[in-house]
Chain A
Amino acid sequence: MKARVHVMLKDGVLDPQGEAVKSALGHMGFEGVGAVRQGKVIELDLAATDKAAAEAEVKAMCEKLLANTVIEKYTVEIA
């Protein structure tokens, strides 16, 4: 089973990298970019065969390591 985790900074947490990307896009002539937020995608190959169990396991991984829930939020997709 495969899992994909999206980790993003929480709303309201300043993202200096996103701001820099936004500024660069503006310099390059891309107009109308209101906001840029940069996050990360983590793909996992899992031995689990049960979708619910896999999701619970990956959520535990997010809470314990993959995301810092002080500043980040995450979503889990299982496929």
Chain B
Amino acid sequence: MKAAVITFPGSNCDRDLADAFAKAGADVVRVWHKDTALPAGVDVIGIPGGFSFGDYLRCGAIASRSPIGQAVVDFAGRGGYVLGVCNGFQVLTEMGLLPGALMRNAGLKFISKPVALRVETTDSAFTADYARGQEIVIPIAHAEGNYQIDAEGLKRLQGEDRVAFRYAANPNGATDDIAGVLSENRRVLGMMPHPERVVEAAQGNADGAALFRALAGVMAGA
């Protein structure tokens, strides 16, 4: 598996994300936001958490229109795998690769703590190594993680089994407790919690490791 992790000015989880991919056996390349093309042979793109471009205008808005942005959209359009975590999830919604939008937390506060999530589908390369309904603990760290989508879009997500994770106890006001969603082709995942922060026991738990392991497994089998 060859993973490309993109760094924007203000990204601060890029090294963690690269490390998580590497621990799952990936060959990781780091890509700068001003690059206009991805390295050859990339299987999966990771868009990390942080505060790209200082969250100016809207979280993820400027990053989604950066030079590398179009390459990411094209890659996803060709059926490439993309994982966006936290700010990366915001970037993916701003790119239009995932529906809905991430808004200010209902309680207005930045929340940084481990939260319990329910794995809602195992039908994706990201969630295949979990069990449906399994509860996992992954940290969140965001002020704008309140997932909003219109009623019709929500119905579609639910009907197509595209809610990847739900919060066991909703921390931010997100519609339908949604913590992560999949694209229509199930190859783009955006999630507010940070699986890359819990990939080995030394980090408190390793509940996030299965996500990267599952991806590596799918790539190995492809």
Enumerate chain A interface residues (CB-CB to B < 8 A).
13-14, 16-17, 20, 64-66, 68, 70-71
B100–A16 touching, CB < 8 Å: no
Q: Which residues of B contact A16 (CB under 8 A)?
A: 103-108, 146, 173
CB distance from A66 to the nearest CB of B (A): 7
A-B contact sample (20 more), CB < 8 A, given A16-B108, A20-B108, A71-B101: A13-B103, A14-B103, A14-B148, A16-B103, A16-B104, A16-B105, A16-B106, A16-B146, A17-B104, A65-B61, A65-B65, A68-B58, A68-B61, A68-B94, A68-B101, A70-B93, A70-B99, A70-B100, A71-B103, A71-B148
A sample of 22 cross-chain residue pairs with beta-carbon separation below 8 angstroms, ordered by A number, consists of: A13-B103, A14-B103, A14-B106, A14-B148, A14-B173, A16-B103, A16-B105, A16-B106, A16-B108, A17-B104, A17-B108, A20-B108, A64-B65, A65-B57, A65-B65, A66-B57, A68-B58, A68-B61, A68-B101, A70-B100, A70-B101, A71-B148
Residue from the list A13, A64, A65, A66 in contact with B148, Cβ < 8 A: A13
Q: How far is the CA of A13 from the CA of B100 in the complex (A)?
A: 12
User: Residue of B at shortest CB range from A40?
Assistant: B57
CB distance from A39 to the nearest CB of B (A): 12
CB distance from A6 to the nearest CB of B (A): 14
- Interface SS of chain B: loop
Q: How far is the CA of A17 from the CA of B99 in the complex (A)?
A: 23
User: Residue of B at shortest CB range from A17?
Assistant: B104
Q: How far is the CA of A65 from the CA of B146 in the complex (A)?
A: 21
Enumerate chain B interface residues (CB-CB to A < 8 A).
57-58, 61, 65, 93-94, 99-101, 103-108, 146, 148, 173
CB distance from A15 to the nearest CB of B (A): 8
Q: Which residues of A contact B93 (CB under 8 A)?
A: 70
Q: Which residues of B contact A68 (CB under 8 A)?
A: 58, 61, 94, 101
CB distance from B100 to the nearest CB of A (A): 7
Q: How far is the CA of A65 from the CA of B58 in the complex (A)?
A: 9
CB distance from B197 to the nearest CB of A (A): 26
CB distance from B153 to the nearest CB of A (A): 9
Q: Which residues of A contact B173 (CB under 8 A)?
A: 14, 16
Q: Which residues of A contact B61 (CB under 8 A)?
A: 65, 68
CB distance from A36 to the nearest CB of B (A): 13
Q: How far is the CA of A77 from the CA of B94 in the complex (A)?
A: 25
User: Residue of B at shortest CB range from A18?
Assistant: B104
